């Protein structure tokens, strides 16, 4: 190997160290890029030449680049408190769909900076739609991969079918004259109020009045404004339910009867049961609803099972990527589940910019499924995965590459001096 060959070997060193500095510079530039995975330049020696003669052997021809390897190690998680910011703890990539030459193609990313776009789809900040599995109206996940529509969601109303009341009626309450519609407050001993909903989600206030008939016997009526009832008159109380109760000497409900007719205006007629407890006559305790003890009349619990229509107020995402929607009517429902993808050789994916990777033959086929299954990691909501670049390590690599570059340049300088000496032999 002559002096000219040594110059070429040193030139290969200059090129490789220049490439190493480019990789280091790219890593440092992306130190704050969410989901970025650092690169590592991998070099190998070049084919050596045989030297024949005394001291024969192989002399190398310098070095060459083998590959720039992606280091897919986990980055630290940064809590943001934003519900649509997501990170993956463990293996896997989020799947986002983009369009290339008119065809829809899946891309893969560790950057979970998502938002709901103007059409209600969960999307990346550059407009690609996040992929996953939507749910039906009952909240059951349908495992057909597609775009996640979560922002344009409403919750239909549910007509009330039962009113549950727990209360005590004062055993010492005055026995009053029969109920007078013109003087409800003066001819009833106790009243309470609840709101029920019809099939359209319209609220109806129900006033329940209790009357002490004496001898442990009580009667009650349920009234509502006639303006919301078929055939009723607005501003006038209309009876929709009534019943009687008897209590034994221990204050337990012994018997209970009721009738109910509730036909809201412009809505479906609906049965409305008033659950006032299980009387002892039907093998109940007589203590789980209305009781009659020597204590002031008071309601301790009142509830009904209907609700009005609601609009989406917010979302929550659990470790398995299930997206739970909370609505303005106080209800919640599963809306969708995120899809994650893993690869046999994820470090062989191709960077395409925008924090995205594309599939390659070397990476293998994507294994798309749900989080925490098939070796895929868990989803962390309200957090982002930071770059896995270690600045201290990159600066050390920068210094080493700089010194190596200088050493290779020195080799060229030394070879040039020797060639000058050789040329000076002929004068």
Take residue 39 and report the two structure tokens written for it. Answer: 């690169």
Give me the percent of the chain exceeding a pLDDT of 90: 70
Neighbours of 314 (CB within 10 A): 11
User: Whole-model pTM?
Assistant: 0.78
Question: What confidence score (pLDDT) does residue 55 get?
Answer: 60
**Residue 20: exposure state from Cβ atoms within 10 A (0-12, 13-18, ≥19):** buried
CB 39 within 8 A of CB 68: yes
Torsion angle defined by CA atoms of residues 86, 90, 92 and 97, in that order, rounded to the nearest 10 degrees? 10
Compute the radius of gyration of the chain from its Cα atoms.
39
Question: What confidence score (pLDDT) does residue 334 get?
Answer: 94
Question: Mean per-residue pLDDT for 379-383?
Answer: 96
Question: What confidence score (pLDDT) does residue 317 get?
Answer: 95
Q: Which residue has the higher pLDDT, 69 or 422?
A: 69
What are the beta bridge partners of residue 70?
39
Take residue 361 and report the two structure tokens written for it. Answer: 């033959």
CA distance linking residue 372 with residue 374, whole number of Å:
7
Question: Mean per-residue pLDDT for 25-50?
Answer: 85
Lowest mean pLDDT among 176-185, 211-220, 342-351: 176-185
Contacts of 369 (CB under 8 A, 6+ apart): 339, 340, 341, 376
Q: Is the pLDDT of residue 117 over 70?
A: yes
Looking only at the bridges linking them, the beta strands covering 310-317 and 322-327 are antiparallel
Q: Which residue has the higher pLDDT, 401 or 71?
A: 71
pLDDT class of 426 with cuts at 50, 70, 90: low
Question: What confidence score (pLDDT) does residue 328 get?
Answer: 93
Task: Look at the alpha carbons of 422, 423, 426, 427 in this order and tell me if their dihedral is positive or negative.
Answer: negative
CA distance linking residue 221 with residue 209, whole number of Å:
5
Which DSSP letter does residue 264 get?
A: B
CB 323 within 8 A of CB 334: yes
pLDDT class of 82 with cuts at 50, 70, 90: very high
Question: Mean per-residue pLDDT for 78-94?
Answer: 95
Task: List the end-to-end C-alpha distance of the chain, in Å, as a whole number.
Answer: 26
CB 163 within 8 A of CB 258: no
Question: What confidence score (pLDDT) does residue 137 get?
Answer: 84
CA distance linking residue 156 with residue 173, whole number of Å:
43
Q: What is the pLDDT of residues 287-335, one digit of tens each?
A: 999 999 999 999 999 999 999 999 999 899 999 999 999 999 999 999 9
CA distance linking residue 247 with residue 171, whole number of Å:
9
What is the residue whose two structure tokens read 């305790």? 285
Lowest mean pLDDT among 77-81, 159-163, 416-420: 416-420
CA distance linking residue 9 with residue 392, whole number of Å:
30
Q: Is the pLDDT of residue 56 over 70?
A: no
Question: What confidence score (pLDDT) does residue 52 get?
Answer: 58
Q: Is the pLDDT of residue 1 over 60?
A: no
Lowest mean pLDDT among 4-13, 216-225, 250-259, 296-305: 4-13
Q: Is the pLDDT of residue 7 over 80?
A: no
Question: Mean per-residue pLDDT for 160-178?
Answer: 95
Q: Is the pLDDT of residue 148 over 90?
A: yes
Mean pLDDT (the chain, rounded): 90
Contacts of 96 (CB under 8 A, 6+ apart): 106, 107, 108, 109, 123, 124, 128, 129, 130, 131, 356
CA distances for 174 relative to 256, 276, 279, 410, angstroms:
21, 22, 23, 112
Contacts of 222 (CB under 8 A, 6+ apart): 206, 207, 208, 239, 240, 241, 242, 260, 274
Question: What confidence score (pLDDT) does residue 226 get?
Answer: 93
What is the residue whose two structure tokens read 């749910």? 135
Give me the percent of the chain exceeding a pLDDT of 70: 94
**Residue 222: exposure state from Cβ atoms within 10 A (0-12, 13-18, ≥19):** buried
CB 317 within 8 A of CB 86: yes
pLDDT class of 163 with cuts at 50, 70, 90: very high
Q: What is the pLDDT of residues 245-282, one digit of tens each?
A: 999 999 999 999 999 999 999 999 999 999 999 999 99
Q: What phi and psi, each to the nearest 5 degrees, are found at residue 92?
A: 120, 170
CB 258 within 8 A of CB 241: yes
Lowest mean pLDDT among 51-55, 236-240, 258-262: 51-55
Q: Which helix (H) or strand (E) holds 96?
A: strand 93-100
């Amino acid at each position: 190997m002559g002096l000219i060959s040594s110059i070429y070997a040193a030139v290969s060193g200059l090129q490789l160290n220049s490439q190493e500095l480019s990789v280091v510079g790219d890593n440092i530039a992306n130190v704050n890029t969410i989901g970025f995975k650092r690169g590592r330049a991998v070099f190998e020696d070049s084919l050596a030449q045989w030297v024949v003669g005394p001291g024969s052997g192989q002399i190398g021809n310098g070095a060459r680049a083998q590959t720039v390897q992606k280091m897919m190690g986990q980055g630290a998680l940064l809590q943001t408190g934003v519900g649509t910011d997501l990170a993956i703890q463990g293996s896997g990539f989020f799947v986002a769909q983009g369009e290339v030459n008119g065809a829809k193609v899946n891309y893969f990313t560790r950057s979970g900076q998502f938002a709901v776009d103007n059409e209600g789809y969960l999307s990346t900040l550059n407009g690609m739609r996040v992929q996953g599995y939507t749910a039906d109206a009952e909240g059951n996940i349908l495992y057909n991969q597609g775009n996640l529509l979560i922002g344009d969601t409403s919750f239909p109303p549910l007509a009330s079918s039962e009113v549950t009341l727990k209360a005590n009626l004062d055993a010492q309450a005055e026995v009053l004259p029969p109920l007078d519609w013109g003087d409800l407050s003066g001819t009833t001993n106790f009243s309470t109020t609840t709101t029920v909903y019809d099939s359209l989600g319209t609220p109806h206030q129900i006033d329940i009045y209790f009357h002490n008939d004496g001898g442990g016997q009580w009667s009650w009526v349920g009234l509502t404004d006639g303006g919301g009832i078929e055939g009723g008159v607005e501003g006038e109380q209309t009876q929709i339910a009534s019943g009687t109760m008897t209590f034994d000497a221990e204050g337990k409900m012994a018997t209970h009867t009721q009738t109910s007719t509730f036909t809201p205006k412009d809505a479906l007629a609906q049965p409305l049961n008033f659950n006032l407890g299980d009387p002892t006559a039907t093998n109940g305790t007589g203590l789980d609803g209305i009781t009659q003890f020597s204590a002031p009349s008071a309601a301790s619990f009142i509830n009904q099972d209907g609700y009005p229509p609601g609009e989406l107020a917010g979302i929550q995402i659990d470790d398995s990527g299930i997206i739970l929607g909370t609505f303005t009517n106080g209800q919640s429902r599963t809306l969708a589940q995120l899809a994650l993808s893993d690869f046999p050789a994820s470090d062989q994916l191709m960077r395409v910019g925008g924090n995205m990777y594309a599939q390659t033959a070397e990476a293998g086929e994507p294994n798309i499924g749900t989080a925490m299954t098939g070796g895929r990691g868990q989803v962390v909501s309200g957090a982002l995965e930071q770059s896995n670049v270690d600045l201290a390590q990159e600066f050390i690599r920068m210094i080493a590459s700089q010194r190596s570059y200088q050493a290779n340049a020195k080799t060229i300088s030394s070879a040039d001096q020797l060639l000058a000496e050789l040329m000076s032999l002929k004068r």
